[in-house]
Amino acid sequence: MAVTGSSHPCGVSPQAAIQSQLDGVRTGLSQLHNALNDVKDIQQSLADVSKDWRQSINTIESLKDVKDAVVQHSQLAAAVENLKNIFSVPEIVRETQDLIEQGALLQAHRKLMDLECSRDGLMYEQYRMDSGNTRDMTLIHGYFGSTQGLSDELAKQLWMVLQRSLVTVRRDPTLLVSVVRIIEREEKIDRRILDRKKQTGFVPPGRPKNWKEKMFTILERTVTTRIEGTQADTRESDKMWLVRHLEIIRKYVLDDLIVAKNLMVQCFPPHYEIFKNLLNMYHQALSTRMQELASEDLEANEIVSLLTWVLNTYTSTEMMRNMELAPEVDVGTLEPLLSAHVVSELLDTYMSTLTSNIIAWLRKALETDKKDWVKETEPEADQDGYYQTTLPAIVFQMFEQNLQVAAQISEDLKTKVLVLCLQQMNSFLSRYKDEAQLYKEEHLRNRQHPHCYVQYMIAIINNCQTFKESIVSLKRKYLKNEVEEGVSLSQPSMDGILDAIAKEGCSGLLEEVFLDLEQHLNELMTKKWLLGSNAVDIICVTVEDYFNDFAKIKKPYKKRMTAEAHRRVVVEYLRAVMQKRISFRSPEERKEGAEKMVREAEQLRFLFRKLASGFGEDVDGYCDTIVAVAEVIKLTDPSLLYLEVSTLVSKYPDIRDDHIGALLAVRGDASRDMKQTIMETLEQGPAQASPSYVPLFKDIVVPSLNVAKLLK
């Protein structure tokens, strides 16, 4: 039977598989043996390199001389390259100096740049090769030493041009353009050098020059000097020094900014924003100058001038709002020249000074007016013929001037000044009242002096009306709204004081009249009067004569004065009745006396109608009282006396029992029983007066007469 071999499941015999694995192991061992040999070779090579490096150290150190030679060669190569420039440095320096002196600034600057370029190139090479070699650096810097001097000299010329730039730009704008081009060149060099510094750390001497920054510093200093140099006078040499100073500033600044806007901007690169910068410089210089002025011990008018200029003129069309500066200048963006605190302090000082000045001015005005009161000549009359003095005009002209000034500064200050004027006016009128009273009293002590007392007292009275009208006019002109009106009206009213002065003045004039009438009034209701005295004729003539002068009194006061004179004459007439100067002894005497009283009442009525013509008032009532009293005296039937007296009492409620007693005594025929009945009836209560009734009898005192005596 034949033997067959069994097969592998994958079709490979076990012997083949084992053989394959042995081959793989053999291959791996061979590769490892090769790798080991390679490692040994590398190790041997590294050992050889290490041995060679140790052997070459000494050789490298021996090459220092070669290195120094290389550095020297590099320096010499740079020197050779710049040899021409180096040899020509003295000549270029001389040429540059000549060009600067000739004003050829662009050419001078070109040569200066060549010098600086040569110097900086050599110094950079030296720095790059051996930054620690200060000896060679100093040698190069010393050789180019004139370069810095030329740069400074050129800069000096540039600054001189810039200082006169506002003039130069009109006469020779190309010169200014040259200056700006030089500055712009230097700015570019500065930027390039600063960029290189970040990489190498090297910066040539004198860099960065920052000429653009210095240019703006020079311009700023020039602006400040220009502003400060406008003060031509002092207070000692010219009272208007500040006004002149501010006006010169206004003109110069406006002219300069117009030139800057129209001409200078064309000479500078746009990114310089030359007009904007100049505007800020002028604004700052002005602010500084205004602060300096504000800190001085200014007088009131100087404070006004300063504040008016700062708060109004500066931002007006006369200056910053001028059409030639638009639209570049926006007034709304400008900061205030003076802080609110400084303005407030100035206003406080102004108000304090103004208060003192107004008080002094008013006192002086009154003293001056008082001197006129004793003159031998009559006062002046206005266009309507009314006597007046210059006092109201002086006072309100002063108020007007101060209010106009205050209105220029601000509405708020205007209102404050008006309130101040009204306050001081109130105090002034109190003094005016006292002086007028003293004037009257001194005259009454010696009626011969002053000679024109009546005329000047009339002027004082008329002044009161002028003052009232002027106050109303002032308020109407300087108060524009109800709030301000309320502020003003909260001040003490002056109308009352003025009316009191006028009333006192009118009373003084009437006192003058009645002093002259006294003798003739004393004749009334006497035997002499009954026998044919012409006392009332003289009274009428005297009153009319005085009232010819009183025609120079303004209507409101003349009207009151006429009514008061009428009333007082009637009261004096009634007082004469109540004095029991006469006691009629017969019906004939009573009739004669009563008829005389009626005639004289008509005389007085005619007189005062004449004097009151044009006033449109009924003035007959006073004289009717004399007629009513005359009716009681004239009554022929004593039995009707009670009825007549009752009618009198009902018509004149202020009549008292002593008046009736005196009236009955003048009649001389009333029986004791009749007197008793009349008195008892009157004691039952007075009649009620009508609202329009003006009392007459309340001012009449019956001396040394009482009811007990009357009843005897």
Question: Can you give the pLDDT at residue 1?
Answer: 40
Confidence of residue 144 (pLDDT cuts 50, 70, 90): low
The domain boundary, picked from 336, 363, 381, lies at 336
Question: Would you say residue 385 lies in a domain?
Answer: yes
Angle at alpha carbon of residue 322, lines to 316 and 324, rounded to 5°: 175
User: Is there a single domain that holds both residue 255 and residue 299?
Assistant: yes
Query: Which residue among 209, 236, 271 closes a domain?
Result: 209
The percent of residues above 90 in pLDDT, for the chain, comes to 44
Is 169 in the same domain as 235?
no
Q: Would you say 188 and 113 are in contact if contact means Cβ atoms under 8 Å apart? A: no
Say yes or no: 111 and 169 in one domain: yes
What does each C-alpha distance from 355 to 129, 416, 420, 510 come to in angstroms?
Answer: 83, 11, 7, 38
Q: Which of 291, 312, 336 is the last residue of a domain?
A: 336
Answer yes or no: do 677 and 546 share one domain.
Answer: yes
Residues of 377-388 as b/e, b for ≥16 C-beta within 10 angstroms?
A: ebbeeeeeebbb
Mean pLDDT of 256-266: 93
pLDDT of residue 3: 39
On whether both 434 and 549 belong to a single domain, the answer is no
Are the CB atoms for 647 and 658 separated by under 8 Å?
A: no
Q: What is the number of structural domains in the chain?
A: 4
Q: Is residue 451 part of a domain?
A: yes
Q: Which domain holds residue 88?
A: 65-209
Q: Are residues 241 and 186 in the same domain?
A: no
Question: Given a cut of 60, is residue 636 above it in pLDDT?
Answer: yes
Token match 């003490």: residue?
492
* Site of tokens 């909260």: 490
- The CA distance from 449 to 556, in Å, is 28
In this structure, how many other beta carbons lie within 10 angstroms of the beta carbon of residue 242?
A: 24
In-domain check, residue 131: yes
Residue 445: in which H helix or E strand, if any? helix 411-445
pLDDT of residue 629: 93
Q: Do residue 222 and residue 163 come from a single domain?
A: no
Query: pLDDT tens digit string along 569-580?
Result: 999 999 999 998
Residue of 624, 699, 637 whose CA lies nearest to 669: 637
Residue 119 lies in a domain: yes
- On whether residue 408 sits in a domain, the answer given is yes
pLDDT confidence band for 457 (50 / 70 / 90): very high
What is the per-residue pLDDT across 93-109, written as a single tens digit (0 to 9) for each? 777 778 888 878 888 88
Residues forming a β-bridge with 387: 381
189 and 92 together in one domain: yes
Cα–Cα distance measured from residue 289 to residue 295, given in angstroms and rounded to the nearest whole number: 10
pLDDT score of 563 more than 70: yes
Is position 169 within any domain?
yes
348 and 328 assigned to the same domain: no
Type of residue at 648:
L
- In sequence order, the 6+-apart residues with CB closer than 8 A to the CB of 182 are 105, 106, 109, 154, 158, 211
Q: How far apart are CA 700 and CA 578, in angstroms?
A: 8
Residues 545 and 675 in one domain: yes
**CA dihedral over 323, 325, 328, 330, signed as positive or negative:** negative
pLDDT at 72: 66
pLDDT of residue 711: 41
Please report whether residue 391 resides in a domain.
yes
Least Cα distance to 419 among 367, 487, 499, 344 occurs for 487
In this structure, of 57-61, 314-318, 625-629, 663-667, the range with the lowest mean pLDDT score is: 57-61
Q: pLDDT digit string (tens) for 184-216? A: 998 998 888 888 878 777 777 778 889 999 999
Q: Picking from 199-203, 299-303, 585-589, which range would have the lowest pLDDT averaged per residue?
A: 199-203
- Are 506 and 549 a contacting pair, CB within 8 Å? no
Residues 205 and 280 both lie in one domain? no
The end-to-end CA distance of the chain, in Å, is 213
By the 8 A CB rule, do 157 and 101 touch?
no
Q: Are residues 226 and 201 in the same domain?
A: no
Using the predicted structure, report yes or no on whether residue 515 has a pLDDT greater than 80: yes
CA 645, chain centre distance (Å): 72
**Omega before 587 within 30 of 0, i.e. cis:** no
Residue partners of 574: CB distance under 8 A and separation at least 6:
625, 626, 629, 696, 697, 700
**587 CB contacts (<8 Å, ≥6 apart)?**
636, 669
What is the rounded average pLDDT for all residues in the chain? Answer: 84
User: C-alpha distances in angstroms, 511 versus 508, 540, 546, 574?
Assistant: 5, 16, 11, 18
Question: Does residue 310 lie within any of the structural domains?
Answer: yes
Closest by CA to 574, choosing from 656, 635, 682, is 656
